[in-house]
Structure 1
Amino acid sequence: MPAAHLPKVDEEEAGTADADETARELEEEEEDAETASSASGEGLTDDDTDASQPTGTGKKKRKKKKKKANGEASGEASRVDAEVRKQQQERVSNALADVRANSSGSIWVDLSSAAVDAKTVKKLCAHLAANTEILSLNLAGNCLDDESGESLARALAQGAAPNLIDLDLRDNPLSPAAEASVRATLKERKILNVELGPLPPPVAAPPAEAGKEEAGKEGGASLSGSLRDNPYVRRFFQVDEDDQDEGQALESPTEQVVPEQLSAELWEQVNQALESPTRTTADLATPLTAIADQVRGEMDSCMLPMLADTELADLRPFTAAALRALPTLRRVLGLASAPRETTFSRTAALRTLGLHRAAALELLAQVLRAECGAVARTVVHAPGCPLALGLRLALAHEACSPAQGAVLRAARAALAPGTGAAGLWRQLVCGAAGEGGPVGEVPDEEAGPHGETDAREGDALEPVPPTAIAELCAKAADLAPGLRSPGVGWALALAGSLHAAMQPGYCGEEGRVEAWQEELREALAGQAAWVEFAAAEGPLADLLAQQQGDLAGPKPARMVLPEPGAEPSRVLSGQDLINMLRGLHGSPQLS
């Protein structure tokens, strides 16, 4: 029969026929296996068996079946590959859409093992140019070649994705030269952490955790491992505690340091820097700043001011160690920095206070926050009068606001009702402790690598501090606020504290004047410049009144409208104003 006249067979009938044929082949194979088994059981030889079996037909059937099985396996693998490719394409498509829309979904973009190629990278670079939300981009395990990696690096270096802090390009076919080029291109992005090279081998999960899902797979709730280790992420996000399972103990990366031990180590660093001939200001400032921070923390956790019966044994470790190290602190205050050019020096080098002395003054101010007699008496008997030297240094460096702020807080603590009786205020008024002795009884230090010497700039000031404060503020009384010296503000605040400490009722009981207040009055009354400055109608009262006023001057008074029938108002109406402006240009006026 011609092919054109052959009857059409339905697909169902064809499928049924294939199934019947497969069943027949299986039955024939089983019969062959039974025949072979029976032949071997009856003791037939290989020749007899070969002669009794239809060898040609069996080989063809087995070959046909093997070919069909291979085809089915190949088709199953093709279907799996197609599903994987489809999932990868959906991931890439969704990620590109989020990046392009600059949505919150583009904060953590994970395209690892997503078959990202050069074409996808080109689209990604175009979308990243206007994206400001993305923080992490994971492209590990893809097909990025050298050109794709370098083009992505150039786009990021030109300002794309300005908030990106983590970029993972590991396990990509990038050559060593391309990886070096990527790092060089992105070196100006200081907060961007770039990961290149191979991925680390997978770590087997513990048996107890094998059945748990990996943290962070649902909705990107957890950070990736590379992002968790980023120092800039750790600064703003608490990644360690959030990623721990409930009931799992937090493991400390380092052993807890005892406060006494840490304090001793920091002061040992200070002493080593003082003895080193190659010391720098940072060698002293760094440990002193750390100690001041620890003392601040101790004071913040205490009730201030401390009780009047507080003893040195009751103090926290860092505060107690700082009081014992007051002689060392005085040595640091005696080290002057070499003159250097600054932003305000123009062409001439200026004397600078130095970070080490600013840190020492801040530490002294933090210790005196206790405002108790035991701490104040310890500072009073310290060699070299550190508070007096700090005040003189602040007066000598009018533009050093950190030192001025620290000295002002320390001076107010010395004048506090709880510490006034200890006599620490004498270092503010007389420049020495009650027992006498000059401010600078300490041997000269050898010059450091940057010219630091024990110049004792504060000792060069002839007037005692109240007189110097009065002269500085009196000169500013006739000047507008913007034209005054930069040191007038803090000097006036200190003068106001000295003046308030002498007033009756300062220590609590109304109208009562303590013995130390009377002594303070007598000490200040012996300085003519201070008496004139602090008189009832003197410059101090005027300057303090200016501080109490409005920053922008008096407020304008509200305009009062005239009553009906009263005299015509001289206030111009809108039409009068327009006519006046038209008259200036010769234009016709409005009627």
Structure 2
Amino acid sequence: MSAAEEKPELGEEQEPTEDEHVEEEEASSEGDHHDGSAKKKKKKKKRKKKASTEAAGASNSSDEGQPGQDKVDKQEAERRFHKALESAKHDEDMWVLLANANVHDAKARKLFEALKSNSSITSVNLSANHIGDEGVQALVDVLQDGGAPELINLDLRGNTLSDHAQQLLTDLHRRRKQLVIETGPLPDESAAEAAASSSSSSSKPGTPAKGRGRAAHNLQQQQQQQQQEQQDKEQWDGQSLKDLVKHSAMFRRYFQTEEEEGGAGSSGDEEAEAEDDLPLPEEVWGQVSELVPGGQGSIPALAEALLVVSKALDAEMGLMPSVEDKAGLQDFRPHFRAVLENLGLLQQVLQLQPEPQLTQSSSRTPQPAVGSHRVWACAILHMLLLHNNPVIDRAVSELQLLPAAVALSLAHERCSAVQCRAAEMLRSSLLSSVPELWQGLFTAGLGCGLRQAGSEQLLQPLHEELVQIANQAVKQPMGKRSAVVGFVSEVANTLLQAADPVNQDLHCAALAAVLDSSDEWQGSIQQQGPIHSLLQEQDGQLCGPPPPRPAASVNEEDAADQQSLGIINGSQLMALLSRMSAS
């Protein structure tokens, strides 16, 4: 074969057809062995060159589909990142929105470093990015040290996270339970992959599937955003602000509308059905008796069982015998009777302390925890004492459960769930015909040898403990005081009302005698005393101190006009609203 005949075969632009391949193969089989092997080598080289040329052509065609698009997207992502970074450094926003912003570990470290001193951001969206183990480690280091204390939502969906990174996030959630961490694939990733696979059948072979999937994902996000904007626009057209707020999902989550209130209260059949759905008391308390010996490890299951008991008591609340009935234990409803029979177990629940926990404000130092099991135990006691039934009050008094709840409220200054119920229990006990229920509270150790946290010293009598906390509180500005001051103010106000002979609804002569004999208490409630000062600060000033009135005018007509301005304080405003709702 001549050189002129070989030239077309070696050219890059002219490719042999299938028929020519067949002819070459037939010719090679007829030639000698040396010529046949040489031709086979040439054919292999041509096939390799052809495959590389097709791959390069496919790559160029995919790049030509959106000229300069990748560069524009990267510039936009960079702009968004720097804007969010500056905002995080200066506490300017409550949200960080960096979904699909090409954030990798190095950028993530810069962003998380800015969150150390941020006190305003509540939500961070970093979905569909490139964050790995290093970025997650940087995030965990910042948040475990108390950074971004207001953060409650973190979206990391669409990032490729290893098992190690997932474990770091799980440990972080245990330490900051209020933080919701979202991981895993995005909801529309599967749809984007399906669109990519379907388009691959019609596109040229060799186009990278990953690039097509990302493009489909971005396109779908843009379409969804445009659709949502259109829906919002249509929703606003022709509707009042009141209707929009009333029917929004956020409003219905926290508030009950009038229609729902009417529907809920109009059917007695629903209450009967709910009572029928309650488990048997023997089953629930059998479970509690099995869980209590398990100690700290059984606390989550124990809390769930006590929650069931609380719901059952709530369903039976309206069916309790009155005080005048002087009912015995056999006359109570099944779940109330079961609680009274198992008050000893409830006492053990109140004594079961969980492990110390890291909180939002504790940084790296674990703090003593209340435990949800003790929260529900206090809720059960609260419902028992609401009835002022002497049978119940004597049973609770014998086991000294009220002092245990009050001591728990004083020891855990941030647990308002326990403190509110303890304050209500104290108020109910002062109305009881069983004075032993509350008398021990006003002796050392609250009548049952309770000691101060981390000390062998007995707790002071309740009224003296209140005075001591109030003394420390008034020396500090508002906002820097202990969180237990609210509980102290509420209990002190209740004691003052009970000691006032004019207050016939709550007056307790026996308590008044105890308080009159205490010099510390009497001094604290006088003008400028710590208890008096605390209550004065909170007395009706809902909106702060009233504004100063205009200067008096020498003109009587002007003075009358100034009087008609009607400047009122928070207390007067609440009284006015109350009269309007009553009329």
- Range class of TM-score, shorter chain: 0.3 to 0.5
Larger Rg: 1
- Normalised by the size of structure 2, how large is the TM-score? 0.46
